[in-house]
Amino acid sequence: MTMAESTAATESSHEVHHHKEPDFWSKYVFSTDHKMIGMQYMFTGIVMALIGGYMAYVFRMQLAYPGEHVPGFGTVTPLAYNSLITNHGAIMIFWVAMPILIAALGNFLIPLMIGCDDMVFPRINRLSYQIFLISVIVLISSFFVPGGGFGGAWTAYPPLSAQSQYNLTPFGAPLWLLAVALEFVAFLLGGINFITTTMNARAKGMKMYDIPIMVWMIVIASLLFMASVGPLIAGAVMLLFDQTLGTTFYNPENGGDPVLWQHLFWFFGHPEVYVVLLPAMGAVAEVICVFSRKKLFAYKTILYTTFATGILSFFVWAHHQFIAGIDPRMAHVFTVTTVIISIPIAEMLFCYIATLFGGSIELRTPMLFALAFLAEFLIGGVTGIYLGSSGMDIYFHDTYFVLAHFHYTFFPIAIIGFFTSIYYWFPKMFGRMMNETWGKIHFWGTIIPFNCIFLPLFVLGMAGQHRRIYNFKNFPDLATPDLHNLRIFATWSAVVMLVFQIPFMINFMVSIFRGKKAGKNPWKANTLEWTAPSPPPHGNFKELPVVYRPPYEYSVPGREKDYWPQNEPN
């Protein structure tokens, strides 16, 4: 089986070292191998995604059938509802999107794609995952303290989050903040590793423009994360003091300023969107090139555009606060910057579409997910322009329109982006192929219900449905049958989508052990990870590769094969 194979591979490639085979604990739990740490992040992320999905199921049922018994949960109290939506948001962004897209893919792929044997700080890397695991444990234990998990919304605006007489979760709130802070320390350590490894440990001959877009995206995302996380940590410390020591940083009664938290949170929060978006964009770029057998259109433009997006993303945060009492003149400035940031992103999407143009497209499962990413993210981006203009936002703020908008950005990023990469890199991770037919069933069973969930929510938002309502039956204007039927439709679509994740899980688990053997390079791709054995042994390469050309030389005229791996001299 896979394990035995990888053991054999390890032994053969390490005959010189004569090291003894590590036991279970040092191999799977306290490993410093970047691939194992990537797997740990990925499986933790999948478990958290299941928890977050379950939470979404419970509160969607409550919204469709208010006050009724929810199968698998019971009756949803208002307190439980608050806690469920808060933790759904926090889990999906901080414990699913970030560990899977940045930490799992970054750890697994960066050393393989730049052709080195491991991260430059392997022990810091292990520490990063251990701190992340502690943050998961703290978060989950916060659901079981008196008062339940934190119920002040994932953005944690004070005074709701700062004072327990408002949020009614005196123990859940500080624990939640602590978990978030630990999680950021973990990603900080990971990010330092990603940047240093990519800058210092690339294979011989790999120049800046020979680095695959995926690696660039993770590095730029790490840079954005590091530049933006400091203010949030500062804000979180102040909030924690407000909660526990009784300081008044955010309490206007004693000279504090509640909007201050919103500035600190969104100064981090908006770049954070790009922190998770960029790795997904990178994975899509790799997949699109491989499955249309074409060179990536405008590699340098995409790279510069990404830098531009990254810089711009630090100047748009106040578009989350147009009705929070900020100066209207400031709102104008932030409207302009927000609309400007759609230009580089649109440019990247155009480059991807131009890559597809005229290619010999092969619709394998990863490619389907990559194309779906482009289409769905486009809807998220376009609806963002409405919300970014301060005039429109006065009407749309805190409605389901906003909710549908950011699910149309985060779902493609976190879920479709994850499926794109898992279907594409699965052969490298486990040495076997996933089943194509079940992959396609999973694809359609995910994408169609996804649109059925969130398109109705746009309509509900435009009808004025506010985000933070526990029971719509209490609002006669919103409880009309027309609107309520849309809610029920969205809820059942969510259930269907969750059910269609079962074939994926089965396909995933079965393929790890029984899938067709993949070989080194099943997709005929150019980047360096496909020159390592699948799954790569400890140390990755038998001999460290040397790079001779950029990563996207597909269908070069005059060559017999339609691909040209980076490490082949000619």
- The answer to whether residue 255 forms part of the interface with other proteins (CB under 8 A) is yes
Pick 252 or 519: Cβ nearer other proteins: 252
- The answer to whether residue 245 forms part of the interface with other proteins (CB under 8 A) is yes
CB-CB contact of 145 with 174 (8 Å)? no
Shortest Cβ 543–other proteins spacing (Å): 8
Pick 11 or 117: Cβ nearer other proteins: 117
Of the candidate residues 195, 278, 349, 351, the single one contacting other proteins (CB under 8 A):
195
**22: number of Cβ within 10 Å:** 14
Pick 165 or 254: Cβ nearer other proteins: 254
Q: Which residues pair with 436 in a beta bridge?
A: none
In the chain, count H helices and then E strands.
19, 2
Of the candidate residues 231, 269, 464, 503, the single one contacting other proteins (CB under 8 A):
231
Pick 27 or 263: Cβ nearer other proteins: 263
Binding to other proteins, residues 121-180 (CB under 8 A)? 121, 124
CB-CB contact of 111 with 197 (8 Å)? yes
SS3 119: coil
CB-CB contact of 531 with 567 (8 Å)? yes
- The answer to whether residue 238 forms part of the interface with other proteins (CB under 8 A) is yes
DSSP assignment letter at 205: T
Pick 207 or 300: Cβ nearer other proteins: 207
Shortest Cβ 197–other proteins spacing (Å): 8
Report the sign of the C-alpha dihedral through residues 468, 181, 380, 307, in that order: positive
162: Cα separation from own chain's centroid: 28
Shortest Cβ 470–other proteins spacing (Å): 33
Residue 205, Ramachandran bin (φ over 0: left; ψ between -120 and 50: alpha; else beta): left
The two three-digit tokens of residue 496, written as one number: 């269907």
- The answer to whether residue 237 forms part of the interface with other proteins (CB under 8 A) is yes
SS3 466: strand
**543: number of Cβ within 10 Å:** 8
The span of 35-43, 208-216, 260-268, 278-286 binding other proteins (CB under 8 A) equals: 260-268
- The answer to whether residue 188 forms part of the interface with other proteins (CB under 8 A) is yes
**333: number of Cβ within 10 Å:** 14
Rounded CA separation 499/250 (Å): 43
Q: What one-character-per-residue DSSP string does 124-149 give? A: HHHHHHHHHHHHHHHHHHGGGSTT-S
- The answer to whether residue 241 forms part of the interface with other proteins (CB under 8 A) is yes
Binding to other proteins, residues 525-564 (CB under 8 A)? 544, 546
CB-CB contact of 150 with 169 (8 Å)? yes
Pick 244 or 474: Cβ nearer other proteins: 244
- The answer to whether residue 27 forms part of the interface with other proteins (CB under 8 A) is no
Shortest Cβ 208–other proteins spacing (Å): 12
Shortest Cβ 117–other proteins spacing (Å): 6
Shortest Cβ 200–other proteins spacing (Å): 4
Of the candidate residues 40, 135, 228, 321, the single one contacting other proteins (CB under 8 A):
228
- In single-letter form, the type of residue at position 85 comes to I
Rounded CA separation 221/109 (Å): 15
Shortest Cβ 194–other proteins spacing (Å): 10
- The answer to whether residue 115 forms part of the interface with other proteins (CB under 8 A) is yes
Q: Which residues pair with 399 in a beta bridge?
A: 466
> With contacts defined by CB under 8 A, how many residues of the chain interact with other proteins?
46
548: Cα separation from own chain's centroid: 32
Pick 63 or 223: Cβ nearer other proteins: 223
- The answer to whether residue 267 forms part of the interface with other proteins (CB under 8 A) is yes
Residue indicated by tokens 């794109």? 420
The span of 257-265, 438-446, 480-488, 518-526 binding other proteins (CB under 8 A) equals: 257-265
- The answer to whether residue 235 forms part of the interface with other proteins (CB under 8 A) is yes
CA distances (Å), 44 to each of 8, 40, 77, 532, in order? Answer: 27, 6, 29, 26
How many residues are recorded in the chain? 570
Q: Which residues pair with 432 in a beta bridge?
A: 517
- The answer to whether residue 374 forms part of the interface with other proteins (CB under 8 A) is no
- The answer to whether residue 247 forms part of the interface with other proteins (CB under 8 A) is yes
- The answer to whether residue 502 forms part of the interface with other proteins (CB under 8 A) is no
- The answer to whether residue 214 forms part of the interface with other proteins (CB under 8 A) is no
Q: Which residues pair with 74 in a beta bridge?
A: 70
Binding to other proteins, residues 280-339 (CB under 8 A)? none
Report the sign of the C-alpha dihedral through residues 242, 245, 247, 249, in that order: negative
SS3 18: coil
- The answer to whether residue 4 forms part of the interface with other proteins (CB under 8 A) is no
CB-CB contact of 162 with 98 (8 Å)? no
Of the candidate residues 196, 301, 451, 471, the single one contacting other proteins (CB under 8 A):
196
Rounded CA separation 431/239 (Å): 47
Pick 543 or 560: Cβ nearer other proteins: 543
The span of 20-28, 221-229, 482-490, 553-561 binding other proteins (CB under 8 A) equals: 221-229
Pick 181 or 422: Cβ nearer other proteins: 181
Shortest Cβ 546–other proteins spacing (Å): 8
- The answer to whether residue 73 forms part of the interface with other proteins (CB under 8 A) is no
Rounded CA separation 456/217 (Å): 33
- The answer to whether residue 256 forms part of the interface with other proteins (CB under 8 A) is yes
- The binding site for other proteins (CB under 8 A) comprises 115-117, 120-121, 124, 188, 191-193, 195-196, 199-204, 226-235, 237-238, 241, 245-249, 254-257, 260, 263-264, 267, 544, 546
